[in-house]
Structure 1
Amino acid sequence: MQILLWGIAIILSAAAAYWVYRADKKRATPYPWLTATLRGLVVFLTLLLILAPVISITNNETQKPVVVFIQDNSSSIANALGKDSNAYKQDVTALIDKLSKDYKVVTRGLQGNTTTDSLFDYNLQSTDIAKALEDVQEYYGTQNLGAVVLATDGKYNQGSNPLFQQLSLQSPLYTAGIGDSSLQKDLRISQVYHNKTVSLNSNFEIRADINATRCNGYSNGIQLTEGGQSVGSSVLSVNTDRYDRTVSFSIKATKAGLHHYTITAPAADGEENTNNNRRDVFVEVVDEQKEILIAAAAPHPDIKAIQAALSTVESYKVTVKMASEMPSMFNYKVVILHQLPSQFFNNSRDIAAVKKPTWFILGSQSNPAAIMQLPSPVQLSINPLVQRDVYPAYNPAFSSFALPQNAQAVMDKMPPLSVPQGNITALPNADLLFRSRDGEQTPVWALRQSNPAIAITTGEGLWRWRMYEYKNFNTHNTVDECIRQTVAFLAANSNEKPFSVQLTKYVWSDQESISLNAYLLNATNQQVNTADVQLSISDSVVKKQNFSFEKSGSSYRLNTGIWPAGTYTYTARTVYNGTTHTANGSFVVEHMPLEQMETGADYNMLYSLADKYNGGFVPAKNITSLADSIMKNTNIKPVIQSNIQSVPLVDWKWYFLLILVFAVAEWLLRKYWLAQ
């Protein structure tokens, strides 16, 4: 359109100039081409003002490639560098200065942008490499990101394994390894597994992963104690420089209440780091029979499989009903809904009203729109009429409960579940037990600790799992434990007391803020928060601190801040409709120097990470050589960005002056020639 307007202006101004030229030539004007030119310019500029009041101007800007330098500024780096700290600082500064000539260099710590000097403070108490890389992709992924440089010891103690992280990072990642990668003597309890809640008189298991490096010849008993009394012991004999073993303790729940257990691994001779030789475990033993409802859209072999798994738990009373004879869910502790709500029976309103812990199992009759109106650990956009086979993969990061040691090996033998076609994505607060083995990592079995607690299995076919496990391992134990522990998780998070206080966990770090949630129910089992709730926390010497809960939605919440290491008890109190309600509990705060839980550097991880993203690895002493590697990478180059700017002609005051100058010049010339 703008070209057309320019064309019209040129034609009309040329016509005006030609008309003036012919007229002046007849009058014998000395320079007719000059007056014609001036008249043409006046007409052209005036027409532009009328026909195209806004013109577009293209500005080309060359953008340098962005190089993001991520420095691990956690406290373990200070120990790893030691006396080489100043030399390393000089090398990093030289690298940044050299890159800054041709690239835009952005310096970041693990938790965000920072100045070059602040990179070397090393004051973070945890390391989350995956989150740091995710932030770089989020903030710079749409820019001309040329390269990412990560300087770290390769040890992470928070977040996911960066090697398993699914990033769409198109730029090369270069890693610089800090610290000593040789093995150092260390015996540590790397992970513990246990059920948060068990039934009275039942047997339960506490497991601990023990890792030992350069402890060849070590032999001692791993102790499990409660209140200073030994509950169990497992002899650990190390016969290699790299040793991994899982120890297990079997315990009978003989007393109701909250039990505090401690797992201790005696230090090896010459072991310097003993911060990781102890772990605390809390298990709540409950004494009550739980009513479990299994409701199904239609008869299905999964129902028998679930019923068989739960039949071994003495404290469960299981009722099975079809949708056509659906009872009130109010009297049940846990509700299992197989393909409900369905296309023909939508009971989502009843589910929302009773607010019971619920386990959804999806199938061809499921009604995804109705399920999405209820709390769920996943987001669904599916067509249940079209099914696909999804093979399960055990998620080692799952933390809601413990499964048998061979769970991963068993699940590798499992047949697929029939999962509805479409998109299924896990929400941030979901804890995935199983996901698909393919690259999509579709949630297969997910849980969410909320009020009420929710679980979802996104496909049908549990009966085949039991059959295949028995065929391959001569037992139903793993599949049955998945079912039993899911129901136990839901039952433990059911909230039927008139007043209760919940913590997300019982063992906290002295670097974490401790948060509590409180729930108050009225006579119809609905949450209310009209009453005020007070909380007092006491330490081991009965020193109290008082707090008041904040009202949030229909419940209460409180962030008490960071606490020093120790054992604490709490009492919450409220008065509702003239009745006083109290809730008691306890928690432990441990001094957990996460940065000292593992020693040494993991160069193998850094090499693999750089290889995954087409970069390169160097030890920290050679970090300046990364400048040459980046400069030689021909894929890292500037881009030209064109910006089109629309400018109104009326904003250019000189434009009107130019028209006036040309018009006055023509008038003066004519006056001069006529006077001669």
Structure 2
Amino acid sequence: MQTQTILLIIAAFITALIVALFQYWYKTKNRKKNILFFAFLRFLSVFALLLLLINPTFKQKTYYIEKPALVVAVDNSSSIKYLKQDQKVTQFVNQITDNKELNERFDIAYYSFSDKLNDSLHFSFDQKQTNISKALEELEQIHKNTIAPTIVITDGNQTYGKDYQFSSIGYKQAVYPIISGDTIKVLDTKIQQLNVNRYAYLKNKFPVEVILTYSGNEEITTTFRVKSGSNTIFSQPVSFSRTNNSTVVNFTLSASTVGVNQYVAELVPLDIEKNTINNSKTFAVEVIDQKTNVLLISDIVHPDLGAIKKSVESNERRSITISKPNENKELDDYQLVILYQPNTRYRAVYEKLNTLKKNYFTITGPKTDWVFLNRIQNKYTQEITRQNEYYVPRYNTNYGAFLQEDIGFQGYPPLIGTFGEIRMNSNHDPLLYRTISNIDTDEMLLATIEQGGIREAVLFGEGIWRWRAQSYLDTQKFEDFDEFFGKLIQYLASNKRKSRLNTISESFYYGNASVIIKAEYFTKNYEFDRRGNLRISIKNKETEATQTIPMLLKNNSYEVDLSNLDAGNYDYTVTVLGENIARSGSFAILEYDVEQQFLNADVTKLKQVATNTNGKSYYLNQKDTLIKELLEDQRYQIVQKNKENVVSLIDWKYLLAIVILLLTIEWFARKYNGLI
């Protein structure tokens, strides 16, 4: 307590004493015996009130016990069940839960993980993907400020993500892998990996690459073949030995039928193999009969041209040609024309576009001749200032021409455009607005126009190559930007009439991937409608079993996750309740469970994780040894800590009650003695 506060308390004591004596001693002529009692009550009440005004603070120490945390993370993927370890794992966790000594020593936290981490003790062992590296990273974030040894019960078989054997080097907690699964190596042949393009073009050949592996000591010979239905369309004998335990088979197949063509790759299993599921793999290729051809016309050399080319050709169904405006190109050979920073040399190009009623995409910038552009078309005009400005994009959440999500546009670098007001003279749908010097405006940066059966988009700025680079810096991949640009190209290259209900789905999905179907629903004014009540009906073509599921609103679309469907061919219909609108489609789910490709636990990697983190690996039958070593490890001690709190007197509510009680007693006592 500070000296100043002590002096104030002394002053309050003296003041309260003076007030009490003045009222009951100095001013009272008839001093009865109970006058001192009244003075004492008044002194206490005044002193208490003055203390509340001074509000002194006191330090209060509390002591508590802090246990170290013990994290128990259980692999909930289907490989645990496939390797027949699910009951053993459940029993192991129950024994940990019921151990009294462990619970007295540690605060035990239970998690399950597959492709994501869950705070749960519920184990279904049916998840189709495993990411051990991601689980360790998230556990480190959760327990970064505590001592938390981590028990990871897993077979060590990871299907995607970073290699946890190396990413665990930076893990700050000791990891104790509990190895579940058979550790004895047995003879096995398998298709390790199959690489094929998702799309092919009619009457072309598409390449397929297959990696085959073998574990065993004997020399063997078997056959690799590919079937389409009941027909074998490719076959090749393969030989393996202890030293030659892998081979790569490259071949091509003919794309002769339009649509989704399914194939089965099979490595004929040996009679003594235990696991034959990993000897076959289903794959599919969608054969299309044409490619979207895009023409990019530019009179200058700019990094944007390379970024546009990369984005357009990131999808094999599209190709792009770059030319100058004075080169004679048959525009009818292209579904879309991109005009980059037009000037007077583009006059003939615009005349051809108007004659052919061709869709086009205009990109403007500092090199654009706006005097020419304002004259050659009448859909928009730019104020002529001959000055440049930097424009940061801002996403329009109400954009409805096609389905697009915000991919972090406001974090993208600014584009360089012409300073001045833009006037739109036609019906338009803004996708991106301009933000200038951190001030949000309603001026367009990117807009789409649909008029007279012609679709056009206009981007008022150069420098989208920086957007593509920023997308890579943000996500370590170009996919977000390329998908955004691809949707814009797809919209412009199509002449399909605008519909109030659109659906988006892939023609086929692999069994280990998410099956997501999206829909966009618009009002009669073609504004996105968040009030829609959408349902999707799914029908299995083979069994004719049907089910109806509501679609959930997410950002600017409605979507449904159908990942729980079995492999097969399906038809679907999306309807809007209360509206006579429906859209139909079909898709296929290819049978493939990556978790069933494993035959043994990955002992080597799990032991390396233990070494990297100063932990130790165990097997499921070594529970007692694990518990004993955890209890005896001096790194995990119960710690007594104290916490010092600064408490203000005004927070002590009882003091106010005492003041009220003292004043009440004084009033009743004076009333009783006839002093009031």
The amino acid across from 1:235 in the alignment is: P
Give yes or no for the alignment of 1:222 onto 2:255. no
Aligned runs of 1:541-552 on 2, under 5 Å?
543=544, 545=546, 547=548, 550=551, 552=553
- Shift of residue 370, structure 1, vs aligned partner: 2.9
User: How far did residue 503 of structure 1 move?
Assistant: 3.0
SS in 2 for 1:324: coil
Structure 1 partner of 2:635 = 634
Match of 2:340 among 322, 327, 338: 322
CA 641–11 in structure 1, closer or farther in 2 if over 3 Å, else same: same
What's the counterpart of residue 215 of structure 2? 213
- Secondary structure, counterpart of 1:156 in structure 2: coil
Structure-2 separation of matches of 1:376 and 1:610:
41
Structure number with larger C-alpha Rg: 2
CA distance in 2 between counterparts of 1:614 and 1:149 reads 13
Could you tell me how far apart the structure 1 residues matched to 2:97 and 2:59 are?
Answer: 43
Partner of 1:369: 392
Task: Give the distance between the partners of 2:140 and 2:642, measured in 1 at CA.
Answer: 21
Give the match for residue 175 of structure 1: 177
Q: Would the alpha carbon gap of residues 496 and 67 (structure 1) be closer, same or farther in structure 2, given more than 3 Å must change?
A: farther
Distance 1:85 1:264 in 2: 33
Q: Residue deviations 1:570-602, cap 9 Å, x none?
A: 264889xx9999754341352x45543201111
Give the partner amino acid of 1:72: D
3-state secondary structure, aligned to 2:277: coil
User: Relative to 1, partners in 2 of residues 1:424 and 1:130: Cα closer, same or farther, differing over 3 Å?
Assistant: farther
Partner residue of 2:476?
443
> Is 1:100 the counterpart of 2:123 in the alignment?
no
Q: How has the CA–CA distance of structure 1 residues 299 and 625 changed in structure 2, closer, same or farther, with 3 Å as cutoff?
A: same
Structure 1: stretches of 5+ with no match in the other structure: 25-33, 348-364, 386-417, 427-434, 456-489, 668-676
What's the secondary structure of 1:370's corresponding residue? strand
Could you tell me how far 1:522 is from its partner in structure 2?
12
Partner of 1:598 in structure 2? 598
**Matching of residue 70 in structure 1 with residue 93 in structure 2:** no
Q: CA deviation at 1:270?
A: 0.9
SS of match in other structure, 2:226: strand
Instruction: In structure 1, give the amino acid aligned to 2:342.
Output: S
Aligned to 2:433: none
Equivalent residue number for residue 505 of structure 2 = 503
Q: How does 1:289-368 map to 2 (within 5 A)?
A: 289-294=291-296, 298-300=300-302, 303=305, 316=319, 318-320=321-323, 321-325=339-343
Aligned to 1:112: 118
> What is the aligned partner in structure 2 of residue 270 from structure 1?
272
Q: Is the contact between residue 200 and residue 287 of structure 2 (CA under 8 Å) also seen in structure 1?
A: yes
C-alpha distance in 2, partners of 1:419/1:61?
58
Q: Which residue does the alignment assign to 1:258?
A: 260
1:369 is paired with a residue of what secondary structure? strand
Describe how 1:437-586 pairs up with structure 2 within 5 A.
443=476, 445-447=478-480, 453=486, 497=496, 501-504=503-506, 506-509=508-511, 514-518=515-519, 535=537, 537-540=539-542, 543=544, 545=546, 547=548, 550=551, 552=553, 557-559=559-561, 562-566=564-568, 568-570=569-571, 572=573, 584-586=585-587
Q: Counterpart of 1:31?
A: none
CA distance in 2, matches of 1:579, 1:317: 40
Query: 1:283: Cα distance to partner?
Result: 1.2
**TM-score of the superposed pair, with normalisation by structure 2:** 0.63
Q: Name the aligned partner's letter for residue 610 of structure 2.
A: A
Contact in 1 for aligned 2:260/2:508 (Cα 8 Å): no
Secondary structure (helix, strand or coil) at the match of 1:616 reads coil
Residues 185 and 367 of structure 1: is their aligned pair in 2 closer, same or farther, counting only changes over 3 Å? farther
The alpha-carbon deviation at position 644 of structure 1 amounts to 5.6
In the aligned structure 2, how far is the partner of 1:276 from the partner of 1:630? 42
8 A Cα contact 1:215 1:238, kept in partner: no
Change (3 A) 1:244 1:637: farther
Partners of 1:346 and 1:147 lie apart in 2 by 67
Change (3 A) 1:176 1:536: closer
Instruction: From the superposition, tell whether residues 661 and 614 of structure 1 become closer, same or farther in structure 2 (CA, over 3 Å).
Output: farther
Q: 1-side partners of 2:200 and 2:587: how far apart?
A: 18
Task: Give the superposition deviation at 1:506.
Answer: 1.6
Counterpart Cα distance in 1 of 2:250 and 2:525: 44
Q: TM-score, normalised by structure 1?
A: 0.63
The answer to whether the Cα contact below 8 Å between 1:343 and 1:367 also exists between their aligned partners in 2 is no
Match of 1:191 in 2: 193
Q: 2:157 aligns with which of 148, 155, 158?
A: 155
Structure 1 CA distance, aligned partners of 2:105 and 2:158?
32
Q: What is the deviation of 1:226?
A: 1.7
Pick from 238, 241, 246: which aligns with 2:240? 238
State the distance in 2 between where 1:35 and 1:319 align: 103
Closer/same/farther in 2, CA of residues 422 and 65 from structure 1, 3 Å limit: farther
Residues 291, 334 of structure 1: 8 Å contact kept:
no
Answer whether contact 1:372 1:380 (CA < 8 A) is retained. Answer: yes
Alpha-carbon distance change, 238 to 318 in structure 1, aligned in 2, over 3 angstroms: same
Aligned 8 A contact 1:137 1:169 in 2: yes
Q: 1:583 to 1:149 in 2, by over 3 A?
A: same
CA distance in 2, matches of 1:205, 1:620: 45
Check the 8 A contact 2:89/2:180 in 1, yes or no: no
Amino acid at match of 1:97: K
Counterpart AA for 1:517: K
User: 2:392 aligns to what SS in structure 1?
Assistant: helix
**What do the CA deviations read for 1:311-337 (whole angstroms, capped 9, x no partner)?**
xx99846244532359899999998x9
Q: Deviations over 1:2-41 (max 9, x none)?
A: 88545412343267669999x99xxxxxxxxx99999987
Change (3 A) 1:346 1:35: farther
**Whole-angstrom CA distance in 1 between matches of 2:57 and 2:166:** 53
Question: How many pairs does the alignment contain?
Answer: 555
Return 5+ residue gaps in structure 2 as ranges.
Answer: 26-36, 324-338, 371-387, 397-403, 416-462, 671-676
Determine if contact 2:307/2:464 at 8 Å carries over to the other structure.
no
CA deviations over 1:92-139 (Å, ceiling 9, x no partner)? 457x53332222112233353445xx67x756565443343344345x
- Rounded to whole Å, the distance in 2 between the matches of 1:252 and 1:515 is 30
Q: Structure 1 residues 581, 640: closer, same or farther in 2, change over 3 A? A: same
Inter-CA distance 49–447: structure 2 relative to 1 (3 Å threshold): closer
Contact 1:533 1:573 survives alignment (8 Å): yes
User: How many Å separate the matches in 2 of 1:129 and 1:174?
Assistant: 13
Counterpart Cα distance in 1 of 2:74 and 2:582: 51
Which residue number corresponds to residue 652 of structure 2?
A: 649
Question: Structure 1: how far apart are the matches of 2:598 and 2:168?
Answer: 25
Residues in 2 aligned to 1:196 and 1:334: alpha-carbon distance in whole angstroms? 28
SS in 2 for 1:276: helix
Q: 2:298, 2:73 → 1: CA distance?
A: 53
Larger deviation, residues 2-11 vs 236-245:
2-11
**Residue 151 (structure 1) shift:** 1.9
Match of 1:415 in 2: none
Distance change >3 Å, CA 343–CA 637, structure 1 → 2: farther
Distance 1:101 1:242 in 2: 54
2 CA distance for matches of 1:507 and 1:269?
32
What corresponds to 2:378 in structure 1?
none
